[in-house]
Amino acid sequence: MTALTAITGARIFDGDLWHEGSALLIDDGKVAAIVPHREVPADVRAVPMDDLALVPGFVDLQVNGGGGVLLNEQPDLEGIRTICAAHARFGTTGLLPTLITDNRTVTTQTIAAGLAAQQAAVPGFLGLHLEGPHLSVARKGAHEPALIRPMEDADLARTIDARKGLDALLMTLAPENATNAQIAALHAAGVTVSLGHSDCGYDTASAAVEAGARMMTHLFNAMSPLGHREPGMVGAALDLGHLNAGLIADGFHVHPASIAAALRAKRGPGRIFLVTDAMSTIGTDMKSFFLNGREIFREGGRLTLADGTLAGADIDMASCIRYMRDHVGIDLEEALRMASLYPAEAIGMTGRKGRLTHGHDADFAVIDDNVDVLSTWIAGTPVFAA
């Protein structure tokens, strides 16, 4: 008796091409093949998804919370489980729970929780994103300035040690508060270094990239802008080909014309990919919550501090894809790649995530024409059904 499962009846996007009249074959949590319906083995377990679309599961590298949990406020295994499950409802099959700048104790607790989640194989958990505390106060955004500080030897050692137990570890830092030698050490240890929350200029950013930085955190936001004499962080993100860059496509963080211009300008092989920067509100009817003792208010799709500063985003990845298609005007296929393949590339997981081809993890979302998610599968197992 075969152990294969066949998803039948749906249009299948493998990350490059659409397949019509075909089935996705799953074997032991991996994609075995996409084959015409006539080639599906007779004794396979068939799961019909007629008149729907099957696409690679979304990969989100910046997720602060979801399901009523903010990682800063619940830095433990159950907090990570809740966040991953909340985003699975919206097609995200892999994410990096993200810690916003906090004290040393919370950072240590978060790393321990991430290591526990890795050991427990929490569905959807890919690793951690430490966004701070080594940032620039001048571009702090919603980060608590009293907690921002330079990277010390103990911070470097702890981060490198954490990477040994995680499939992926992403760290956002500013060159103002971390040296190029520290960036080089992180890169050598397999940590993905992302530049963000920085007021530095193009030359300083270039030197950090030369040292090993490979990403920019939420392009345009909390960084020095593109100028005609000083290209700034935005200019570096677009001009330096080694850099990938996350982007929040929620209609509040970046104007659609700026998004479109950035997509046209980005030098490769690096890519611009989507992140949600989601907070605890996702999947809930919460009206406010707290970060570092400060209340954040939810209204009209925006999350802000009392002074109006944007504080994360109130959006899921499926909604980001719709925004890119409907307001920026890019093809659905490219929007899907920005939500799956490109972030997987950015953290070195192209052999596992972002495509539905032989040997990749059987992580996928079943969507309708409106990109509403009807079911989500991780490693060939359904984790959400509408």
Nearest C-alpha neighbor of 380 from the set 82, 54, 86:
54
Q: Report d(CA 278, CA 250) in Å as an integer.
A: 10
In angstroms and rounded to an integer, the radius of gyration of the C-alpha atoms of the chain is: 20
In this structure, what token pair is assigned to residue 335? 């929007």
Q: Report d(CA 241, CA 214) in Å as an integer.
A: 9
Q: Report d(CA 40, CA 34) in Å as an integer.
A: 9
Active site residue 43: no
Residue labelled with tokens 């009523």: 68
**DSSP character at residue 324:** I
Q: Report d(CA 201, CA 186) in Å as an integer.
A: 22
Active-site residue identified among 14, 250, 277, 363 = 277
Query: 191: Cβ–Cβ under 8 A, 6 or more apart, which residues?
Result: 159, 160, 163, 169, 170, 171
Cross-strand pairs, 173: 195
With H, G, I as helix, E, B as strand and everything else as coil, classify residue 262: helix
Q: Report d(CA 14, CA 34) in Å as an integer.
A: 9
Confirm if 225 and 190 have CB atoms less than 8 A apart. Answer: no
Tell me whether residue 108 is exposed, middle or buried, using C-beta atoms within 10 angstroms of its C-beta: 0 to 12, 13 to 18, 19 or more: middle
> Pseudo-torsion of CA 209, 213, 215, 221, nearest 10°?
-80
Cα–chain-centroid distance for residue 164?
A: 21
Confirm if 101 and 72 have CB atoms less than 8 A apart. Answer: no
State the amino acid at position 152 in one-letter form.
E
The catalytic residue positions are 277
